[in-house]
């Protein structure tokens, strides 16, 4: 008996060796957390926080939500903008009508409401697949857009179609400054990302991937396809709803149904196509690309050509460029920037390996 256990111990001994790189990874993680939570707010100016970092983080979060649905569970959707508006309006109404709830609870509840709406929209996915599902999520998108424009109750009977958001505060700490809004967004993104990473490696995540790869085969081997799809819609819309609420409160400062139109749905879908479907890092890469490329283009064009090109033409050129890039990525690199990054890291590791 004892000999077996010692043999087992010998067997398992090498498996314990990689504990050092793991602890090193934790140190790297702690340093990264310190940098983004403490370093960035100290160093970045208001323009960077307001106009680049906050939209980047929120778009990454929306991308993460759509990626769970489209990249992991294989259910393509163009209702992202609609679900974002549900999150924004739900959070707005919770803050307005139940002011005793703290902000994080309102955000989470807004997300849950968006998740429930998403689940209802996801019921269609039980019968409709692929391209047809995309067409039917268009119905969700346009219906939700119409709903929030049409019924005054959602915007508290405000006369203009955009309503200013209530003051942001957690337990008396004012968060309406650029740093406060950045930290609020960053905390939400960090928490949701951690949960999402756990989720995609859990039973649920594996169920989603089985459904994505082939739902008939998945149902044959006993995977609950229907509940898996609905769960994917719920979680995805919850994350997208939180992103929508943050977009309205932490970025724009107003709740406006027009900022959650079909263009937003396409934008988030482009982010995950460029970044990489079925990858968590890909959302951040795609969102960074989406936020930074127009700014870079603006600088390059105004620097080289001066005033020769007006802003309308530049905007059209941007759209054409994004369209071309998306076609290129879909053909040449369907796994997006995340695949490029991992290949680059592998080649570096190979070159530096002894």
Partner 1 sequence: MQFALTLVVLKALPVLIIGGFTSITGAIVGGLIVGAGDSLAEIYLGALLGGSVSTWFAYALAVVFLLIRPAGLFGEAAIERI
Binding residue for partner 1, selected from 37, 149, 209, 223, defined by CB under 8 A = 149
By three-state DSSP, how is residue 50 classified? helix
Which residues, other chains included, contact 209 with Cβ-Cβ below 8 Å and sequence gap of 6+? Answer: 72, 73, 278
Q: Which of residues 255-314 bind partner 1 (CB under 8 A)?
A: 262
159 sits near partner 1 (criterion: CB under 8 A): no
In the complex, the smallest distance separating the C-beta of residue 43 from partner 1, rounded to whole angstroms, is 37
Residue 174 pairs in a beta bridge with: 169
- Kind and range of the H or E element at 213? helix 203-213
**Rounded to an integer, what distance in angstroms lies between the CA atom of residue 133 and that of residue 128?**
5
Residues in the chain: 354
Stretch that binds partner 1, among 106-114, 122-130, 241-249, 321-329 (CB under 8 A): 122-130
Between helix 80-97 and helix 130-150 the angle, nearest 10°, is 30
Measured between alpha carbons, how far is 65 from 62 in angstroms, rounded to an integer?
5
Q: Write down the least CB distance from residue 150 to partner 1, Å.
A: 5
145, 189, 246, 256: which one contacts partner 1 (CB under 8 A)?
145
* Contact flag: residue 226 with partner 1 (CB under 8 A): no
Sign of torsion over alpha carbons 49, 52, 57, 58: positive
Q: How many CA atoms lie within 13 A of 2 on its CB side?
A: 0
Q: Please name every residue paired with 255 in a beta bridge, in sequence order, or none if there are none.
A: 163
Report whether 148 contacts 81 (CB < 8 A).
Answer: no
Q: Residue 345 CB: number of other CB atoms within 10 A?
A: 10
Nearer to partner 1, 145 or 256 (CB): 145
Q: Residue 316, interface with partner 1 (CB under 8 A)?
A: yes
Task: Rank residues 209 and 262 by Cβ distance to partner 1 and give the closer one.
Answer: 262
Q: How far is Cα 126 from Cα 209, in angstroms, rounded to an integer?
A: 16
Token pair 């268009």 is found at 138
Could you tell me which stretch among 64-72, 123-131, 221-229, 239-247 binds partner 1 (CB under 8 A)?
123-131
Member of 101, 104, 142, 219 binding partner 1 (CB under 8 A): 142
Span from 129-137, 179-187, 192-200, 247-255 in contact with partner 1 (CB under 8 A) = 129-137
Q: Rank residues 112 and 262 by Cβ distance to partner 1 and give the closer one.
A: 262
Please pick, from the candidates 319, 324, 334, 343, the single residue that binds partner 1 as defined by CB under 8 A. 319
Binding-site member from 135, 194, 305, 327 for partner 1 (CB under 8 A)? 135
Using alpha carbons, list the distances in angstroms from residue 83 to 76, 78, 88, 141, 193.
14, 10, 9, 8, 19
Interacting span for partner 1 (CB under 8 A) from 69-77, 140-148, 180-188, 205-213: 140-148
From the CB of 324, what's the least distance to partner 1, in Å? 16
Q: In the range 62-101, which residues lie near partner 1 by CB under 8 A?
A: none
- Contacts to partner 1 by CB under 8 A: 124, 127-128, 132, 135-136, 138-139, 142-143, 145-146, 149-151, 216, 262, 316, 319
């Amino acid at each position: 008996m004892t000999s077996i256990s010692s043999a087992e111990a010998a067997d398992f001994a090498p498996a314990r060796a990689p504990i050092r790189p793991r602890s090193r990874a934790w140190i790297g993680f702690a340093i990264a957390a310190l940098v983004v939570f403490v370093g960035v707010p100290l160093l970045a100016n208001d323009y960077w926080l307001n106009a680049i970092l906050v939209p980047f983080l929120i778009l990454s979060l929306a991308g993460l939500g759509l990626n769970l649905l489209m990249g992991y569970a294989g259910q393509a959707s163009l209702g992202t903008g609609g679900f974002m508006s549900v999150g924004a309006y739900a959070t707005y109404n919770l803050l307005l009508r139940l002011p005793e709830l703290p902000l994080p609870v309102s955000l989470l509840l807004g997300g849950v409401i968006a998740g429930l709406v998403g689940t209802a929209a996801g019921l269609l996915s039980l019968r409709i697949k692929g391209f047809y599902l995309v067409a039917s999520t268009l119905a969700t998108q346009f219906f939700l857009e119409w709903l929030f424009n049409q019924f005054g109750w959602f915007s508290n009977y405000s006369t203009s179609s955009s309503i200013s958001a209530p003051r942001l505060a957690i337990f008396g700490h004012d968060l309406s400054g650029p740093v406060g809004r950045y930290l609020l967004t960053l905390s939400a993104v960090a928490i949701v990302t951690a949960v999402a990473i756990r989720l995609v490696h859990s039973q649920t995540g594996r169920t989603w991937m089985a459904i994505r790869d082939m739902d008939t085969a998945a149902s044959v081997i006993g995977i609950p396809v229907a509940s898996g799809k609905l769960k994917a819609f719920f979680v995805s819309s919850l994350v997208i709803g939180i992103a929508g609420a943050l977009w309205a409160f932490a970025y724009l400062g107003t709740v406006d149904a027009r900022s959650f139109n079909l263009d937003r749905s396409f934008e988030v879908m482009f982010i995950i196509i460029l970044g990489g479907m079925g990858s968590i890092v890909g959302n951040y890469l795609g969102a960074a690309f989406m936020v930074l490329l127009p700014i870079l283009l603006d600088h390059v064009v105004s620097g080289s050509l001066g005033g020769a090109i007006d802003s309308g033409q530049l905007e059209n050129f941007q759209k054409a460029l994004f369209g071309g890039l998306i076609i290129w990525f879909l053909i040449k690199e369907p796994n997006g920037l995340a695949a490029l990054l991992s290949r680059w890291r592998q080649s570096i590791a190979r070159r530096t390996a002894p």
